[in-house]
Amino acid sequence: MVGGKWRFLEVAVALIMALQCLAEGFPEEDLVTKLPGQPEVAFRQYAGYVDIDVKAGRSLFYYFVEAEKEPHTKPLTLWLNGGPGCSSIGGGAFTELGPFYPTGNGLGLRRNPKSWNKASNLLFVDSPAGVGWSYSNTTSDYNTGDEKTAKDMLMFMLRWLEKFPQFKTRNLFLAGESYAGHYVPQLADVILEYNTRQSNRFKFNLKGIAIGNPLLKLDRDVPAIFEFFWSHGMISDELGATIKNQCDFEDYSFSRTHNISKPCETAMNEAGTIITQYINYYDILLDICYPSLVEQELRLKKMGTKMSNGVDVCMSYEEQIYLTLPEVQKALHANRTQLPYEWSICSSLVNYNYNDGSTNILPILKRIVKSKVPVWVFSGDEDSVIPLLGSRTLVKELASDLNFNTTVPYGAWFHKGQVGGWVIEYGNLLTFATVRGAAHMVPYAQPSRALHLFTSFVLGRRLPHKSPPALHD
Amino acid sequence: MVGGKWRFLEVAVALIMALQCLAEGFPEEDLVTKLPGQPEVAFRQYAGYVDIDVKAGRSLFYYFVEAEKEPHTKPLTLWLNGGPGCSSIGGGAFTELGPFYPTGNGLGLRRNPKSWNKASNLLFVDSPAGVGWSYSNTTSDYNTGDEKTAKDMLMFMLRWLEKFPQFKTRNLFLAGESYAGHYVPQLADVILEYNTRQSNRFKFNLKGIAIGNPLLKLDRDVPAIFEFFWSHGMISDELGATIKNQCDFEDYSFSRTHNISKPCETAMNEAGTIITQYINYYDILLDICYPSLVEQELRLKKMGTKMSNGVDVCMSYEEQIYLTLPEVQKALHANRTQLPYEWSICSSLVNYNYNDGSTNILPILKRIVKSKVPVWVFSGDEDSVIPLLGSRTLVKELASDLNFNTTVPYGAWFHKGQVGGWVIEYGNLLTFATVRGAAHMVPYAQPSRALHLFTSFVLGRRLPHKSPPALHD
C-alpha cells in the first residue's frame, strides 16, 4: 500500500524536522522519528541520555514530548514518578499523562486524547540512576537516597537545558506523584537554592509545583491508609477501631517499628492482608488485571474483566511488553549500554535509603511557598496507598504554619458540568484538590478531570468552584 | 411488516397464557399481556390492585414478575422501596432489579440482563396508600406511619396470596432498601406474629429478609453521613472535626433538634450544602442528570454526560416519561381511578409520621433473627445517604446483643474473579455485606454484583469469600 513516493515524503519530512531542530538547537540525535506502531502526530518527541557523572558512568534517561499545539508558547513541565525506584517513562509517560498508551496486545500505541501535552511541553526522567533505562557503570551509585537524587536531578536539568536551550527562559513546572512527593519538593528546593547562588547568570524560571497523592509525612500518611480502609468498608469496624485506639503513629518510620505496640502491629498486619493480589489498592474501585495465560484465554472468551470503569486495567502489563521490544528501545535511543536485565516499571536494582521516607516534607514545601512558588497538592480519591485523608490534613497544617488565610473555601470544583473533585486554596499560593473517582495515578483513571486540573495549574488559574457550572469547561 | 397471521398468533398466545392462568389460579384480569415498547420475554407479568379497605376505598397497587426460568421451582420475593413515600414499581421494578429498564427516550423498554427474576419470582408493591398508583378514597388515610403501613402490607400479602394461591406454600423472602429498613423488618415482625397466632391454618413460609442501605437507627445512621462526607473528601477536614467534636447524635431525631448544639447545627448545615443539585449523593461517583431542555440539546451534541461509570444517570427521568404514558398505565391496569395528579417516583401526598424515623429497628431485627429467619444487611459503598459506616456498626451491635459469634470473619467476597465487596457473618443467621462501587440503589449501579448477592441470599448460600476466586461465579 505504501509506495516509493510516500516513503520519500516520510524521509523528507524527517529531514525538514531534523533541520528545524538544528535551527532551534534541539539535539538532532535524540529526535524520535516514530515509535513502533505509533499513530501519526504533528508534535515532536525526543529521547536519550543526559550524562550526570562521566567518570562513574552515571546517566539519566529522558523522554521529551512537545506540546501538541504552539509548543513555543507553552511552558515546560518535568514529571517524576515515585516508588522510590519507579520509571517516569513507564508510569507517567506511557500509562498516565503522555500522548500515547500501549495497545491491547502491547505491540503498538494509541493516542491518549487527554495527554497533558495539550497544556505544556512534557519532560519525563527515569530517576535516580538504576530506574528504568537510567543506569550507572559504578554499582555503588545504586545505593542512593533523597539528597543524591535531588542533586543528580539538578545536574540533569542544567545539562538538559544545554541540549534544549530555548527552554532556559521558559516557565518551568515540576510535577509528580507518590514518592515524587519527596522528589519534586526536594528538586524545587535545590533549584531555588541554585537560583539564589546565581546572581547574574542563568536562573530557573520555576513557576509552580504539583504533587499527586504524595508521600509527605509518615505519621499522618500511614494512619490515613487505615482510616481509608475503614471508611471504605475494606476492614471491619473492630479492626478500624483497634488501629485507631492502639496505634501511635507519632514518629512512625518504615525502618523502625519499635514505637508500635504489639496489638497495633497485629492489627496493622491483619489490615495489611487487604494489600494483596485481589484488590487494586491504587484504585479500590478498579478491577484487577489477570495477566497470566489462563486469564488471557478467558479474556479472549470475554470471561475476565479487562476494562473497568472505562479504564484498561491491564495497561501496565501491555506496557511491559511494548517497552521490552528491542525496536521500541532503539526508536527511543534507550538502553544504549544493553543493560543485563529486562525493563521493568519499578527497579529492584536501586537500594534506596528507606530512612528518607520518614523525612517531613512540610518544611520544604514551606520554603517553596515562601519563595512565592505556588504549590498544588492533588489527590485521587480512590487511592488507599496515600489517601486524601492524610494529604488534606497535612496541607491544612502547612497553611496554618504559614499563617495563610483560606482564599477559596473547601468546596466542589467542576468539569464538564460535573463535580471534578473538591478543592481548597490558602493564601493564593497553596492549593489542595481531590479528583473524583481517580486513582493514585490520577490521570490514569480520570484523564479528562486530570487534564483540566493540570491545565488550570500551569495557567495559574483556580479550578472553577462555582455552580451552576458550564458544560463546556 | 407485521401481517395478520402474526397478529393472530399473538392473540392465540395471549389466550393460551390466560387459560394457563386460570388453571393455576392466577388472576386473568391482572395479566399484563405486553407493555408498550417491551421486548419479547418468556415469563409472565401481572399487575393490578389489591383492596385493603373497601369501605375507605384504600387499595395497593402491585406488579408481579414471574421468574425468568422455572418459576415453579423458585421462591417469591417481595421488594419494597423506601422514602417513606417512594414507589417500589418506579424504584425497584423499573430502575433497579426488575426485568426492564426504560429506553433513552422514555417511550419503550429494554431488558435488564441482571434482573433478580433470574433467581426469584418478584413482587413489587406501592406502599403505603398514596404512593405511586396506590390510593385511598379517604383522604385521612394519607396520614400514616410505620404501624399502619405494616398492617396494610400484612393484609395485602394475605389477599394477594388469595389471587395467587400457588405461592401460599412457597418460600417467601422480603427485601427492600433505604426506608424499607423500617418497612421490611416491621412487615416480617407482623408476619411472624401472624404465624404464631395461626396454629392450624395458613402460615407464611418466611425464609429471610434482606435490606440494602437501610435506615436502622438515627443516632448512628446520621453521624455516618458526615463521616462518609469527610472520608470521601466532600467536606473539609475542619468541618469533619467540628461535627465529630460538637455533635451529640444520641437521641437524635428528624423532628426534634433541641439536643443539637448551635455550633453543631451550623456545621451540619454547612455540610448539608453537599446535598444539593450538583452531586448524586446516592452514588457520589456517578454524574448527575441534566434533564432540562438545554441539556437535552447538549446531550444530542454529546456535550453533556448521560452515561457515567456504565450507568444511565437519566434513568429516573426516562422512567417518569414512560410511566406517565396513558397506554403504559392501561397495560399495567394502573391508575384505575384516574388520580388527579401525575405519577411520580416519590409521593408528595403522603403525610408520613416523621417520628417513626427515630424508631430503633435493631430490637425488631433481633426478634426476627431469634425466629431463625436469616437477616442480610447489604450496603452500596458509594452511598452517602445511609452509608455503610452506620449499618456496619449497627449490625455488629446487633450481633453482640444476640451473643452471636463471628461465623465468617470480615473479608472480601468475590464475583467474576473480582472483589464484589466485603462481608461478615454472625451466628449463621446475620450477614452484613458491602457491594463495591454500588449506589444507595444497589442493583442500579452494580447490577451484576447485586444479582450475585441476591442469588446467594435466596439460595441460603454464603457469598464466596475465598481467593483465588473462580472467574465464572
Poorest-pLDDT segment among A5-19, A394-408, B459-473: A5-19
pLDDT digits (tens, 9 = 90+) for A437-451: 999 999 999 999 999
Inspect the interface and report whether the beta carbons of A233 and B467 lie closer than 8 Å: no
**Chain B CA closest to residue A272:** B411
Whether residues B84 and B57 fall in one domain: yes
**Number of compact structural domains in chain A:** 1
Choose among A237, A416, A418: nearest Cβ to B392. Answer: A237
What is the sign, positive or negative, of the torsion defined by CA atoms of A211, A215, A220, A222? positive
pLDDT at A248 over 60: yes
Mean pLDDT over each residue of chain A, to the nearest integer? 91
Whether B23 and B42 share a structural domain: no
**pLDDT tens per residue, range A67-105:** 999 999 999 999 999 999 999 999 999 999 999 999 988
Write out residues 379-408 of A within 8 Å (CB-CB) of B: 379, 381, 388-389, 392-393, 396
Catalytic: A440?
A: yes
Instruction: Please report whether residue B472 resides in a domain.
Output: no
Instruction: Give contacts of B469 with chain A, Cβ < 8 Å.
Output: 278
Distance from CA of B421 to the nearest CA of A (A): 8
pLDDT score at A275: 74
**Interface contact flag, A409 B236, Cβ < 8 Å:** yes
B286 and chain A in contact, CB less than 8 A: no
Cα A417 from chain centre: 27
* Same domain assignment for residues B17 and B79: no
In a domain, A321, yes or no: no
Query: B278, A414: Cβ pair inside 8 Å?
Result: yes
Residues in chain B, overall count: 473
CATH of the domain at B63: 3.40.50.1820
Quick check: is A100 in a domain? yes
B279 interfaces chain A, CB cutoff of 8 Å: yes
| Residue A278 pLDDT | 84
| Domain identity same for B6 and B59 | no
Catalytic residues of B: 178, 383, 440
- Are B213 and B66 members of one domain? yes
Q: Which residue segment(s) compose the domain that A402 sits in? A: 34-216+356-459
Evaluate whether residue A380 is within a structural domain. Answer: yes
Is B427:B399 a contact under the CB 8 Å cutoff? yes
From first to last of the 473 residues of chain B, give the pLDDT tens digit.
444 455 565 666 565 655 555 557 799 999 999 999 999 999 999 999 999 999 999 999 999 999 999 999 999 999 999 999 999 999 999 999 999 999 988 999 999 999 999 999 999 999 999 999 999 999 999 999 999 999 999 999 999 999 999 999 999 999 999 999 999 999 999 999 999 998 778 999 999 999 999 999 999 999 999 999 999 999 999 999 999 999 999 878 876 655 788 999 999 999 988 776 789 999 999 998 887 654 565 566 655 568 899 999 999 999 999 999 999 999 999 999 999 999 999 999 999 998 999 999 999 999 999 999 999 999 999 999 999 999 999 999 999 999 999 999 999 999 988 999 999 999 999 999 999 999 999 999 999 999 999 999 999 999 998 765 444 44
Q: Mutation test of the interface with chain B: which of A220, A229, A237, choosing the one with the most B Cβ atoms within 10 A?
A: A237
Preferred mutation among B228, B280, B300, B422 to probe A, highest tally of A CBs within 10 A: B422
3-class secondary structure for A13-76? HHHHHHHHHHHHCCCHHHEECCCCCCCCCCCCEEEEEEEEECCCCEEEEEEEECCCCCHHHCCE
* Residue B17 and residue B146 in one domain: no
Strand-pair partners of B435: B380
B55 lies in some domain: yes
- The one-letter amino acid code at B363 reads P
Instruction: Specify whether B146 is located in the same domain as B19.
Output: no
| B437 at A interface, C-beta within 8 A | yes
What's the rounded Cα separation, in Å, for the pair B26 and B19? 10
Report the candidate in A217, A214, A202, A195 with the shortest Cα–Cα distance to residue A375.
A214
ipTM of the complex: 0.93
**Are residues B134 and B14 part of one domain?**
no
Q: pLDDT band for A294, please (50, 70, 90 cuts).
A: very low
What is the rounded distance in angstroms from the CA atom of residue B134 to the CA atom of residue B113? Answer: 28
Residue A17 has pLDDT above 70, yes or no: no
Do B443 and B367 share a domain, yes or no? yes
| Residue A249 · residue A223 · CB < 8 Å | yes
Check whether residue B130 and residue B13 sit in a common domain: no
Identify whether B16 is part of a domain.
yes
Select from A274, A381, A418 the Cβ nearest to the Cβ of B288.
A418
Residue A9 within any structural domain of the chain: no
The answer on B117 and B22 residing in a single domain is: no
Residue pair B236/B254 in contact by the 8 Å Cβ criterion: no
Q: Write down the pLDDT at residue A302.
A: 53
Residue at B52 is within a domain: yes
The residue of chain A nearest to residue B393, with distances taken between CA atoms, is: A237
Residues 326-345, chain B: which have Cβ within 8 Å of A?
none
Mean pLDDT is lowest, of A280-289, A419-428, B8-17, B187-196, for: B8-17
* B14 and B114 housed in the same domain: no
SS (H, E, C) chain B: CCCHHHHHHHHHHHHHHHHHHHHHCCCHHHEECCCCCCCCCCCCEEEEEEEEECCCCEEEEEEEECCCCCHHHCCEEEEECCCCCECCHHHHHHHCCCCEEECCCCCCEEECCCCHHHCCEEEEECCCCCCCCCEECCHHHHEECHHHHHHHHHHHHHHHHHHCHHHCCCCEEEEEECCHHHHHHHHHHHHHHHHHHCCCCCCCCEEEEEEECCCCCHHHHHHHHHHHHHHCCCCCHHHHHHHHHHCCCCCCCCCCCCCCCHHHHHHHHHHHCCCCCCCCCCCCCCCCCCCCHHHHHHHHCCCCCCEECCEECCHHHHHHHHHHCHHHHHHCCCCCCCCCCCCCCECCCCEECHHHHHCCCHHHHHHHHHCCCCEEEEEECCCCCCCHHHHHHHHHHHHHHCCCCEEEEEEEEEECCEEEEEEEEECCCEEEEEECCCCCCHHHHCHHHHHHHHHHHHHCCCCCCCCCCCCCC
